[in-house]
């Protein structure tokens, strides 16, 4: 295990900033609540005099603290990573269907607003844009490897409208589907 060399003040600054880069390197334990958290936990910040820092998960638990239910520091992967993987898996398995944010949020079990915010924070894209990229990647694969028409591919990858399919395909691949097929066959 690698320990970091930070002073109490430096660690305090990291928890005030909710700095994710330090997750797993140290834990913040609150004496009054007997709860420990990741540095990035968004829970209400404790008083400075009530805080202790630990570098090791076993050490903080031996001291009698329990894991925060919000940031779940005892889980190696952050809950956000697990959530994002779950959303991406759902999108990959259901890209052919007409999906709206509410469908995804119901499957995941959280509000659409919170889901979209967390997903964008972690991936840089909204679930909708990520879904579009999956669909266009699938369409590009079909254009390269099948003789299906653009219309057949459009519907197979989940688009309800050909105009939207053509527009999004051009935005992502910088070619129309037909141009892309011609280009990929000439290589």
The per-residue pLDDT for 77 is 65
Cβ distance 138 to 102 under 8 Å? no
The per-residue pLDDT for 78 is 65
Kindly report the pTM of this predicted structure.
0.62
Whether the predicted pLDDT of 101 surpasses 80? yes
Q: Which of 3, 49, 117 is nearest to 27 (CA)?
A: 3
Which tens digits make up the pLDDT trace of 105-136? Answer: 999 899 999 999 999 988 889 999 999 999 99
Cβ distance 30 to 48 under 8 Å? no
The per-residue pLDDT for 1 is 45
The per-residue pLDDT for 10 is 79
| C-alpha of 119 from chain center | 4
Cβ distance 98 to 160 under 8 Å? yes
What's the token pair of residue 177?
Answer: 């589907």
The per-residue pLDDT for 17 is 84
Q: Which domains does the chain have, with CATH numbers?
A: 8-67 (3.40.10.10), 86-186 (1.10.10.60)
Which of 75-79, 105-109, 115-119, 150-154 is the least confident region? 75-79
């Amino acid at each position: 295990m690698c320990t970091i060399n930070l002073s109490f003040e430096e660690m305090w600054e990291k928890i005030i900033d909710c700095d994710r880069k330090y997750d797993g390197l140290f834990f913040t334990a609150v004496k009054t609540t007997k709860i420990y958290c990741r540095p990035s936990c968004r829970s209400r910040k404790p008083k400075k005099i009530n805080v202790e820092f630990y570098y090791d998960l076993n050490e903080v638990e031996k001291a009698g603290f329990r894991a925060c239910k919000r940031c779940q520091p005892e889980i190696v992967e952050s809950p956000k990573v697990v959530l994002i993987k779950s959303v991406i898996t759902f999108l990959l398995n259901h890209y052919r269907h007409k999906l709206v944010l509410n469908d995804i949020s119901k499957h995941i079990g959280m509000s659409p607003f919170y889901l979209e915010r967390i997903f964008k924070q972690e991936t840089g894209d909204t679930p909708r844009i990520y879904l579009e990229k999956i669909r266009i990647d699938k369409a590009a694969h079909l254009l390269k490897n099948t003789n299906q028409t653009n219309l057949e591919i459009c519907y197979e990858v989940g688009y309800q409208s050909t105009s939207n399919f053509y527009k999004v395909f051009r935005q992502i691949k910088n070619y129309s589907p037909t141009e892309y097929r011609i280009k990929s066959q000439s290589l």
